[in-house]
Structure 1
Amino acid sequence: MGQPYESVTVETHDHIAQVTLIGPGKGNAMGPAFWSEMPEVFAALDADRDVRAIVITGSGDNFSYGLDLPAMGGSLGAVLAEGTSARPRADFHAEILRMQKAINAVADCRTPTIASVHGWCIGGGVDLIAATDIRYASADAKFSVREVKLAIVADMGSLARLPLIVNDGQLRELALTGKDIDAARAEKIGLVNEVFADAEATLAAARATAADIADNPPLTVRGIKDVLDQQRIAAVSASLRYVAAWNAAFLPSKDLAEGISATFAKRPAKFTGE
């Protein structure tokens, strides 16, 4: 992978690629580079016959804080400023669909993917791990489907893919409250496969599983993924299209402006339903 990326590093060794989130936003937050580069990164990995498994992790103390709000606020600001006009809503709808491709690139990758999560995994971070095949977490990991706290309906895939991972009641509790859960709870509800002592042990376990996969016949592995994925493609695609249209229509609101303002001011939001 000769080309350097702004949002990730990619290293390949012994048929295993490691994709490490590096931001550049705080806590590996997902800014413009992430949404633009991920389809390219995973298309290149998927086309590389030497790569038989992919591990995704985060640099530093966290997996990802999710959407880089300061860096990505322009799209939301335009819709809020001209919310009654059709053009900014149409442009925003196109932007949602474009950003969804970054997570779809992971989900649609024919090469098996394993997430190694430590520290915070918030919002877009949960979207990303929901698109992987296998999820491991360190004991310090914390997860949150937090979009509701910003008056946003999560639209990058967690509401489409988590119903295939955790049961309905658990997902509704996470999405409707925006609460944080620890690694033990995440394992209990099936969000992660297993919990390890720390980030180093988690990454080692992810790489060991990747090695086990890489030892198997690659065409058969791809066939297993293909057959399993066929059971979910239609439902996930329909959900992603629906939420993109829903948010283009209804996301602009006083509550959205309040959620963003409260986040930047680090104060509790006061929502009015307007």
Structure 2
Amino acid sequence: MSYRTAEYEAFEVSITDHVAEVTLIGPGRGNAMGPAFWAELVPIFTGIDADPEVRAVVLTGSGKHFSYGLDLPAMAGDFGPVMADGAQAAPRTAFHDTIKRMQAGINAVADCRKPVVTAISGWCIGGGVDLITAADIRLASADAKFSVREVRVAIVADMGSLARLPLIIGDGHTRELALTGKDIDAARAEKIGLVSDVYDDQEAVLAAARATAAEIAANPPLVVQGVKTVLDHSRAARVDDSLRYVAAWNSAFLPSKDLTEAITAVFEKREPEFSGE
């Protein structure tokens, strides 16, 4: 089945005038990234990559927000086996495979030879930042807010932010965002280079993203792909090395009382109390 005709739970896909538009639609609140998101991202973007009719991509979110990031309640089952007391090699290996599978989704966006332009409104949290860092061009509306929030839920970000953000905003800004888990607004995001431009509202940023994608699509497609390939070449090995390292790190060290506390706090709708264990 073609990616164009497939039915998706977490995305809508349309193609107009050589531009594919991929929209996050949930099903979780705030387009949170649950099992369907991670299962569908690879076939969509590998399909776009192979489609000769597509020359550029617009990536955006439905509703008021781009994405709340990882859907912790929906994905909690993936943490279960490795969180068990005395988890041995088998559950840790399975968890490592899960991380690599999820990384492959974000990598499919980064590796797509058709340039990806993101239109970001509202919240872009955690996995949402991973996703936009895999894009080529990031545009935001004035109400956009960003947070590399994994540290606040006892997780080392492992889907690409720590690998790609330093190449976009520099090491210092990356460390500030990743170590504090703080929220920043669109103006700060533009100042540090996370987004290229800020527009008045969601309608305006989506129109700008579509216009930018149309500009790209009007250029010779193989040359555009060549430009992206050359730009990606020097950083590809660095990103790959970082992703492999963090997958191994989290397989060994992610299970903790603090992570259990973070997940429990999400379910109980309260602030977590971390003990450093």
TM-score by length of 1: 0.98
Conserved in 1, the CA contact under 8 Å of 2:24 and 2:31?
yes
Conserved in 2, the CA contact under 8 Å of 1:28 and 1:58?
yes
Deviations 1:179-212, CA, capped at 9 Å, x for gaps: 1100000000000000000000000000000010
Q: Which amino acid aligns with 1:216?
A: N
Match of 2:240 in 1: 237
Tell me, yes or no, if structure 1 residue 145 matches structure 2 residue 135.
no
Q: 2:274 aligns with which of 263, 271, 274?
A: 271
* Deviation >6 Å, runs of 4+: none
Displacement of 1:266 in angstroms is 2.6
Conserved in 2, the CA contact under 8 Å of 1:83 and 1:252?
no
Match of 2:92 in 1: 89
User: Secondary structure of the equivalent of 1:64?
Assistant: coil
Match of 2:193 in 1: 190
Q: Which amino acid aligns with 1:30?
A: M
Match of 2:165 in 1: 162
Deviations 1:234-264, CA, capped at 9 Å, x for gaps: 0000000000000000000001111112222
Q: 2:58 aligns with which of 55, 59, 65?
A: 55
Deviations 1:11-33, CA, capped at 9 Å, x for gaps: 10011110000111111111111
User: Secondary structure of the equivalent of 1:210?
Assistant: helix
Match of 2:138 in 1: 135
Decide which moves more: 22-31 or 235-244.
22-31
State the distance in 1 between where 2:112 and 2:176 align. 29
User: Secondary structure of the equivalent of 1:231?
Assistant: helix
State the distance in 2 between where 1:238 and 1:141 align. 31
State the distance in 2 between where 1:273 and 1:190 align. 33
Match of 1:262 in 2: 265
User: Secondary structure of the equivalent of 1:116?
Assistant: strand
TM-score by length of 2: 0.97
Deviations 1:138-174, CA, capped at 9 Å, x for gaps: 0000000000011000000000000100021111110
What stretches of structure 2 of length at least 5 have no aligned partner?
none
Q: Which amino acid aligns with 1:135?
A: R
Conserved in 1, the CA contact under 8 Å of 2:81 and 2:87?
no
Displacement of 1:79 in angstroms is 1.4
Q: Calculate percent identity across the aligned residue pairs.
A: 68
**Residue-pair matches, total:** 274
Conserved in 2, the CA contact under 8 Å of 1:82 and 1:88?
no
RMSD: 0.8
What stretches of structure 1 of length at least 5 have no aligned partner?
none
